A and B are shown apart, each in its own frame.
Chain A
Amino acid sequence: MPPRKREQAPSTSTPAVTSTPQVSRSSTSSKKTSSSAQQIVDGIWKNYVNKTPQRVKLLDAFMAFLAVVGALQFVYCVIVGNFPFNAFLAGFSSTVGQFVLTASLRMQTNPENREEFKSISDERAFADFIFGSMLLHFFCVNFIN
């Protein structure tokens, strides 16, 4: 369990701090936070890999893909310039919009959020997702000219 691990980390380092002289306190404390930050990230990652269901991981992969595509478009726009600005906007906002719609689907189908979305079943969430995506892509295709 990651929380327990986090609680252990300071407790192991506290004796070291008390034993070392007062002067080096700042350097050790900064080292401590950096190491704990890394531990935190590690913990999150491990937790994620272990606990997330396969279907949600698929959604996450899709979201990561969308983020990469969006970032690529943006970098291209910065390098080359934004001459057909509507085309850039259509492409970029389609990735952004699809990203947030997928995130919404992920939230709605997450069992932890059950009490938030009482009226929405998983199938309903998926149908909503399709409805939203259709609208989004209609507008994007219309806007790209």
Chain B
Amino acid sequence: MDALFQGDAAKNTRTLLRAIILLTIAGAAISSRLFSVIRFESIIHEFDPWFNFRATKYLVQHGFEPFWNWFDDRTWHPLGRVTGGTLYPGLMVTSGVIYHFLRLISLPVDIRNICVLLAPAFSGLTAYATYLLTSEMSTSPSAGLLAAAFMGITPGYISRSVAGSYDNEAIAIFLLVYTFYLWIKAVKEGSVMWGALAALFYGYMVSAWGGYVFITNLLPLHAFVLICMGRYSARLYVSYTTWYAIGTLASMQIPFVGFLPIRSSEHMSALGVFGLLQIVGFVEYVRLQLPSKQFQTLLRSLVLLIFLVSFGGLVLLTVSGVIAPWTGRFYSLWDTGYAKIHIPIIASVSEHQPTAWPAFFFDLNLLIWLFPAGVYLCFRTLKDEHVFIVIYAVLSSYFAGVMVRLMLTLTPVVCVAAAMALSQILDIYLLAESPSEELQTLSSAEAAKAAAGTSLLSDGLRSTTKPIVGIYSYMSKATVVVCSTIYLLIFVAHCTWVTSNAYSSPSVVLASKMPDGSQHIIDDYREAYYWLRQNTPQNAKVMAWWDYGYQIGGMADRPTLVDNNTWNNTHIATVGKAMSSREEVSYPIMRQHEVDYVLVVFGGLIGYSGDDINKFLWMVRIAEGIWPDEVKERDFFTPRGEYRVDDEATPTMKNSLMYKMSYYNFNALFPAGQAQDRVRGSKLPAQGPELSTIEEAFTSENWIIRIYKVKDLDNFGRDHSNAVAFEKGHKKKKAAKRRGPRSLRLE
């Protein structure tokens, strides 16, 4: 046994143990993300991943070059979308490469399975990258492994990377952490190679996720803070300038990013620090040649002057419009009320809300209270890399507080800092040996000498005869170690519970429990989408609210008007106007956009709260932003300011296309006069709405999805409402026989 832990053998043993632990962590990270695949099936979950999946299929079928120049004419119907120039291709290319690699080793796997399992696979790599990053931060051998374990199973990261969540974040967090690792390595060693590798992975990150802006602002901030602390060194110059020169060029290769690194405000801090470093580097060089107090102050003021002048120039350029100001999405992080007032489409996304306190504990459990301790420890041994952790912690805590989805960028630093704190505790309590006998006798002899020299107190107190007090006894060690072990076990249990219960449900199928405990699956979405796929012509345009755009494109394979890529606000407002207006208004809109089918989501029968009536106010608001005269939010509220669907609903509400489509024929399900909406919890009017310009084409089993077909123009050129009235046999009243006021025929 001793032979294993001493000398050269010990090194090998430790390496072996480390490898085994890391492999186990990767295994845990992967297997804890498979709940949804095992419980349900291997499908893509949310809304956005459906587009990524569709793009990946296109890439795999047609090859790389057609994908790069892909013009997609099956979304945003009259406009189309230049997909190659408006997406981050990193995710698709990664899974395409994996697909072809697996074919190469004659292991043909369906592209869908690669897409579903990509996020778990990369979470294992993220755990490894966290291990590397933390090992750079701390000398303790356990810190890296603890951080890897935390990162592997913490729910804050699992929430965005369960199997089936084929989103950009799946690979982006790995790239984020790995870029940070390479950056720290570059700053520590001052090597061009690490800087260039950091730039390469930064380029990969840019190709994968829009959150790369976080890196472009964090690394310059780190460099700037180091300069301000007087820690400028040649290493910093080498690593930063290499990273910036190569990384910026690499990021500009992505068509979606293009010239943004030169022209937009988000990237100006990196450029500014690059310029500042040139000046500081030059001044340092000159200072080394001529050491003198006076000269130094002269140059200091020179640096300050140039800095201020270039900063002023930057402000001037931004004001004059050469450099684009902050984009709305980014700006709303600073001015938290901005989105709600000016861009309702940003505020309407539920992920863009501020985070509540319980969310932090829910997602990070014990890490959240070890996190400040870890940051504090960074302050105590403040090296260059610890400054980075401090900055990262402060910034990302702020952002995670402002926006729910940015919890994701907070998670890595929380894991690193918490692991540093915990490993410090464990190191102290596991490794601290009681001082050896000689030392003890020596010190007690000294104490005795001192005691003899001063007074005769020494006999009385035990602590003076045995001056070694502290944590050396087995009792104190065992207490702390057992406590932290228990905490860690609870952490594992919590993570598993949260993952299993909160984050592993696909949004495509809705699961509910029957009274006897068995599972009942509501599969209306796919039922309706497959109806569309099989029973409509290949080019039938479907109008739905933008939430469902990607899923319709992915599952039903039909062209849509708007989708989750909300690049054209006016077009979305057009759909919002069509949904929230009277039939007479919306029918021309639908004709103009060649709409064949209209799809609404309605949860009133089974109490599915994420339906279109609950999202209706956002449609109204977005439409009101463009046509304030025609759509007014106020009209949808009762005089007392209530949003109702029952008898007291306003006429505008009752006549809106959305209301009519949702509640059409809903009365027929209930005994007369007892129709009940289970989401809004209100009784519906006895008389259901009637449709004239569209007709019901399909309603799914639980009435979640209702599809309507837009009627053609009337053959006799009549108004649709008249035609419907005629069909129903409502004869014209006698009074109508009187000659009405006629107008002149013009032709």
Interface assignment of A44: CB less than 8 Å from any CB of chain B: yes
- In the bound complex, do residue A125 and residue B192 qualify as a contact, i.e. CB atoms below 8 Å apart? yes
Q: Which residues of A contact B193 (CB under 8 A)?
A: 127-128, 131-132
- In the bound complex, do residue B245 and residue A117 qualify as a contact, i.e. CB atoms below 8 Å apart? no
Q: Which residues of B contact A110 (CB under 8 A)?
A: 234
Interface assignment of B560: CB less than 8 Å from any CB of chain A: no
Q: Which residues of B contact A116 (CB under 8 A)?
A: 190, 233-235
Min Cβ gap B10→A in Å is: 25
Which residue in chain A gives the minimum CB-CB distance to B249? A139
Interface assignment of B30: CB less than 8 Å from any CB of chain A: no
Interface assignment of B570: CB less than 8 Å from any CB of chain A: no
Tell me, in angstroms, the Cα distance from A20 to B319 when the chains sit together: 52
- In the bound complex, do residue A107 and residue B191 qualify as a contact, i.e. CB atoms below 8 Å apart? no
B428-468 to A contact mask, C-beta < 8 Å, 1/0: 00000000000000000000000000000000000000000
- In the bound complex, do residue A128 and residue B252 qualify as a contact, i.e. CB atoms below 8 Å apart? no
Q: Contacts A96-B245, A103-B241 known; A48 to B289 CB distance under 8 Å?
A: yes
Q: Contacts A104-B238, A116-B190, A117-B190 known; A44 to B286 CB distance under 8 Å?
A: yes
- In the bound complex, do residue B196 and residue A131 qualify as a contact, i.e. CB atoms below 8 Å apart? yes
- In the bound complex, do residue A132 and residue B242 qualify as a contact, i.e. CB atoms below 8 Å apart? yes
B184-209 to A contact mask, C-beta < 8 Å, 1/0: 00000111110110011000000000
Q: Which of A1-30 contact B (CB under 8 A)?
A: 2-3, 6
Tell me, in angstroms, the Cα distance from A124 to B242 when the chains sit together: 16
Q: Which residues of A contact B192 (CB under 8 A)?
A: 101, 104-105, 108, 125, 128-129, 131-132
Tell me, in angstroms, the Cα distance from A25 to B136 when the chains sit together: 58
Tell me, in angstroms, the Cα distance from A40 to B286 when the chains sit together: 10
Interface assignment of B248: CB less than 8 Å from any CB of chain A: yes
- In the bound complex, do residue B295 and residue A139 qualify as a contact, i.e. CB atoms below 8 Å apart? no
Interface assignment of A80: CB less than 8 Å from any CB of chain B: no
Interface assignment of A38: CB less than 8 Å from any CB of chain B: no
- In the bound complex, do residue A103 and residue B195 qualify as a contact, i.e. CB atoms below 8 Å apart? no
- In the bound complex, do residue B238 and residue A3 qualify as a contact, i.e. CB atoms below 8 Å apart? no
- In the bound complex, do residue B191 and residue A119 qualify as a contact, i.e. CB atoms below 8 Å apart? yes
Interface assignment of A87: CB less than 8 Å from any CB of chain B: no
- In the bound complex, do residue B196 and residue A132 qualify as a contact, i.e. CB atoms below 8 Å apart? yes
Which residue in chain B gives the minimum CB-CB distance to A98? B245
Please name the 9 residue pairs, one residue from A and one from B, whose CB atoms are nearest each other, closest first. Answer: A97-B245, A128-B192, A100-B241, A139-B249, A104-B238, A107-B234, A128-B193, A132-B192, A132-B196
Q: Which residues of B contact A142 (CB under 8 A)?
A: 253
- In the bound complex, do residue A135 and residue B288 qualify as a contact, i.e. CB atoms below 8 Å apart? no
A22-57 to B contact mask, C-beta < 8 Å, 1/0: 000000000000000000100110011000000000
B15-28 to A contact mask, C-beta < 8 Å, 1/0: 00000000000000
Min Cβ gap A13→B in Å is: 14
Min Cβ gap A107→B in Å is: 4
Which residue in chain B gives the minimum CB-CB distance to A93? B249
- In the bound complex, do residue A117 and residue B189 qualify as a contact, i.e. CB atoms below 8 Å apart? yes
- In the bound complex, do residue B290 and residue A6 qualify as a contact, i.e. CB atoms below 8 Å apart? yes
Q: Which of A91-145 contact B (CB under 8 A)?
A: 93, 96-97, 100-101, 103-105, 107-108, 110, 112-113, 116-117, 119-120, 124-125, 127-129, 131-132, 135-136, 139-140, 142-143
Which residue in chain A gives the minimum CB-CB distance to B196? A132
Min Cβ gap B452→A in Å is: 49
- In the bound complex, do residue B245 and residue A6 qualify as a contact, i.e. CB atoms below 8 Å apart? no
- In the bound complex, do residue A117 and residue B292 qualify as a contact, i.e. CB atoms below 8 Å apart? no
Binding site for A on B (CB under 8 A): 189-193, 195-196, 199-200, 233-235, 237-238, 241-242, 244-246, 248-250, 252-253, 259, 262, 278, 281, 286, 288-292, 295
Tell me, in angstroms, the Cα distance from A136 to B248 when the chains sit together: 10
Interface assignment of A85: CB less than 8 Å from any CB of chain B: yes
Which residue in chain A gives the minimum CB-CB distance to B193? A128
Which residue in chain B gives the minimum CB-CB distance to A107? B234
Q: Which residues of A contact B292 (CB under 8 A)?
A: 3, 6
Could you list 18 A-B pairs, sorted by A, with CB under 8 Å? A2-B290, A44-B286, A90-B249, A93-B248, A93-B249, A96-B245, A97-B246, A101-B192, A103-B281, A104-B192, A108-B192, A112-B288, A120-B191, A124-B191, A128-B191, A135-B196, A136-B249, A143-B253
Q: Contacts A3-B292, A116-B233 known; A93 to B245 CB distance under 8 Å?
A: yes
Q: Which residues of B contact A100 (CB under 8 A)?
A: 241-242, 244-245, 278
Known: A3-B291, A103-B241; 6 extra A-B contacts, CB below 8 A, are A40-B295, A97-B246, A100-B241, A119-B189, A132-B242, A143-B252
Tell me, in angstroms, the Cα distance from A97 to B233 when the chains sit together: 19
Interface assignment of A89: CB less than 8 Å from any CB of chain B: yes
Tell me, in angstroms, the Cα distance from A120 to B568 when the chains sit together: 52
Q: Contacts A85-B259, A116-B234 known; A139 to B289 CB distance under 8 Å?
A: no
Which residue in chain B gives the minimum CB-CB distance to A110? B234
Which among B192, B248, B278, B289 has the highest number of chain A CB atoms within 10 Å?
B192
Which residue in chain A gives the minimum CB-CB distance to B286? A44
Tell me, in angstroms, the Cα distance from A127 to B189 when the chains sit together: 15
Tell me, in angstroms, the Cα distance from A2 to B292 when the chains sit together: 11
Tell me, in angstroms, the Cα distance from A100 to B253 when the chains sit together: 21
